[in-house]
Chain A
Amino acid sequence: GESVGLHLPTLSVQEGDNSIINCAYSNSASDYFIWYKQESGKGPQFIIDIRSNMDKRQGQRVTVLLNKTVKHLSLQIAATQPGDSAVYFCAETLRSSASKIIFGSGTRLSIRP
């Protein structure tokens, strides 16, 4: 079946550096993509989203890039801080299909002081 998968299960980054978390998706019909952050003991929290008619979207310290040609999604976090430590999930959906969201397996981001 269709699935969303992440390239790396863990990522260790020096505090202050930029982090890049990658994600591959396989459903070419998906038209809406979301990144979630999940801290220990909490539910996933929305970070940023992007629709398929865009290839880049910026938020506060975060940028999402979408490459539909190779079905690749990335999350860039600028000036990574200790509070960014969490598991990050990418997710995809087809907005017209009654809104079930498919989640990837997650990347754990750890910050080195």
Chain B
Amino acid sequence: EADIYQIPRYLVIGTGKKITLECSQTMGHDKMYWYQQDPGMELHLIHYSYGVNSTEKGDLSSESTVSRIRTEHFPLTLESARPSHTSQYLCASMDRGDGYTFGSGTRLTVV
């Protein structure tokens, strides 16, 4: 069973809506990451955190924001969704510089 959880798995929303994608991990990892991925394409880092109250923007510009109030929780928020935000969003965590553990992703469609 996965140790990193993303909710929801699928989401269809209207343009202009505010949404929050949830990501939680039970492994006690300090480092957490959000990637955006179009189907079959490469992963683009949009946000990361090295611990509580630490958040940084990634390599791909994103209109989303994140917060890290608790170690286990790293939610991503879109204040006003647009069709260009349609994509898959993958959350990951890492322990001590080894490979990531990924969640199953949230597939977002903005209509």
Contacts and interface: CB of A to CB of B under 8 A. Distances in A.
Interface of A: 32, 34, 36, 41-46, 49, 87, 89, 91, 93, 95-96, 98-101, 103-106, 108
A103 B48 contact: no
Contacts of B35: 103
A46 B101 contact: yes
Contact of A103 (B42, B94, B105, B107): B42
Contacts, number: 52
B102 A44 contact: yes
Leading 6 A-B pairs by shortest Cβ distance: A43-B102, A95-B97, A105-B42, A103-B43, A34-B99, A46-B99
Interface residues of B, number: 23
Contact of A104 (B42, B92, B103, B107): B42
A106 B40 contact: yes
Contacts of A42: 104-105
A44 B90 contact: yes
A100 B104 contact: no
A43 B103 contact: yes
Nearest to B48: A100
